[in-house]
Amino acid sequence: MLTDLSGKVILITGGAQGIGAAAARLCARRGAVIYIADLNIEQGETLARELNAIQPGAAFFPLDVSSEEQVQQVIAQIQALTPKLDGLVCAAGILRGAFLTPEELTAEDFQMVQQVNVTGVFLSVKYAMPLLQASKQSVVVIIASGAGVQGPSSSLAYAASKGGANGLSMTLAAQLESRGIRVNTLSPGSIITEMKLRVELENARRQGIPEEEAIQNARRNYGTPEGVAPIIAFMLSDEADYLRGTLYTR
Ligand SMILES: NC(=O)c1ccc[n+]([C@@H]2O[C@H](COP(=O)([O-])OP(=O)(O)OC[C@H]3O[C@@H](n4cnc5c(N)ncnc54)[C@H](O)[C@@H]3O)[C@@H](O)[C@H]2O)c1
């Protein structure tokens, strides 16, 4: 039996491409109304049109999750459309400073990554709380990373941020369970997306490996956003009610 998400309204930050977009498509096919919030306006709007054709009601909101003001504004716009959110997927994320040593990595880049990958998750949950609570059976899925569980990562900043996202998620799960909100973390290993391919190409450049070979290796060895999406859909479903405060990693 396929995971049923009919009647659910789900907000996906960072949903314009990659893992977030694959989750958006699958959740829409399983019956959910999807809201996408992302920096990438062009791709976000295109995807929202595609999602609308699958499940009417989908919408796109331009958003930088690292801006408290913007998160507040987007949640206010969503409140005008729906009385509840059954799911919040925090997939917005960046990786900077791949292969840089502590001496080379700037404090500014380090902080920027924490601002998006950790503060962005905190702000999204903070302002979505009234809508999540209104659902009675809502779920937050935080996309952290294996980089913050077993490591190592190509980036010091990214590793720190994903360890932070895992920690944030564990404590949110404990705090919010009594308020009817389940919080789970998905910490995938390497998944072929634009983010991962950029790192692979940088690595290839440094090692003198031809670009094409690096891309082929990644395709052979790494997971896909479509492979991760069913886990996200399951976490968001009522069938996953027993899952609370879990961290799935690979
Ligand atoms: N690809 C991997 O190997 C991998 C592994 C583990 C975890 N992750 C995590 O999965 C999540 C999705 O990454 P992906 O691999 O699909 O990458 P991606 O670059 O394809 O997608 C990331 C999305 O986040 C959006 N985004 C970036 N900064 C934002 C901001 N400040 N506000 C709003 N949106 C913003 C981008 O526009 C993009 O649509 C990230 O949190 C990433 O760290 C990725």
Please say if the pLDDT value at position 190 is more than 80.
yes
Location of structure tokens 């709007």: 45
Nearest-CA residue for ligand 1 atom 6 is: 145
Check whether residue 134 and residue 218 sit in a common domain.
no
pLDDT by residue (tens digit) across 88-109?
A: 999 999 999 999 999 999 999 9
pLDDT by residue (tens digit) across 198-250?
A: 999 999 999 999 999 999 999 999 999 999 999 999 999 999 999 999 999 98
Distance in angstroms (rounded) separating the CA atoms of residues 129 and 174: 15
Check whether residue 239 and residue 179 sit in a common domain.
yes
| CA terminus-to-terminus distance, the chain | 25
* Residue 169 located in a structural domain: yes
CA–centroid distance, residue 21 to ligand 1 (Å): 10
Location of structure tokens 């399951």: 234
As for ligand 1, residues whose beta carbon falls within 6 Å of it are 13-14, 16-20, 38-40, 63-66, 91-94, 116, 120, 143, 145, 188, 190-191, 193-196
Q: Which residue has the higher pLDDT, 157 or 250?
A: 157
Nearest-CA residue for ligand 1 atom 40 is: 93
Share of the chain above pLDDT 90, in %: 96
Tell me, yes or no, if 158 is annotated catalytic.
yes
Please say if the pLDDT value at position 169 is more than 90.
yes
Check whether residue 196 and residue 245 sit in a common domain.
no
* Residue 3 located in a structural domain: no
The CATH number of residue 81's host domain is 3.40.50.720
Check whether residue 76 and residue 41 sit in a common domain.
yes
Give how many domains the chain has, as a whole number.
2
Mean pLDDT of 30-55: 98
- Global pTM reads 0.98
Position 230, amino acid = P
Check whether residue 33 and residue 47 sit in a common domain.
yes
CA–centroid distance, residue 165 to ligand 1 (Å): 13
* pLDDT the model gives residue 159: 97
Q: How many CA atoms lie within 13 A of 226 on its CB side?
A: 1
Full domain range(s) for residue 51: 9-188+224-249
Distance in angstroms (rounded) separating the CA atoms of residues 167 and 183: 12
Distance in angstroms (rounded) separating the CA atoms of residues 77 and 98: 36
Q: 195, 200, 217: which to mutate for ligand 1, most atoms within 8 A of CB?
A: 195
Instruction: Categorize the per-residue pLDDT at 128 as very low, low, confident or very high, splitting at 50, 70 and 90.
Output: very high
Tokens read off for 104:
């080379």
* pLDDT the model gives residue 136: 87
Tell me how far CA of residue 8 lies from CA of 66, 108, 156, 197, in angstroms: 26, 39, 37, 33
* Residue 82 located in a structural domain: yes
Q: Of these residues, 158, 222, 242, 248, which one is catalytic?
A: 158
Check whether residue 204 and residue 130 sit in a common domain.
no
> Which of 26, 31, 131, 17 is CA-nearest to residue 71?
131
Confirm if 156 and 218 have CB atoms less than 8 A apart: no
CA–centroid distance, residue 18 to ligand 1 (Å): 7
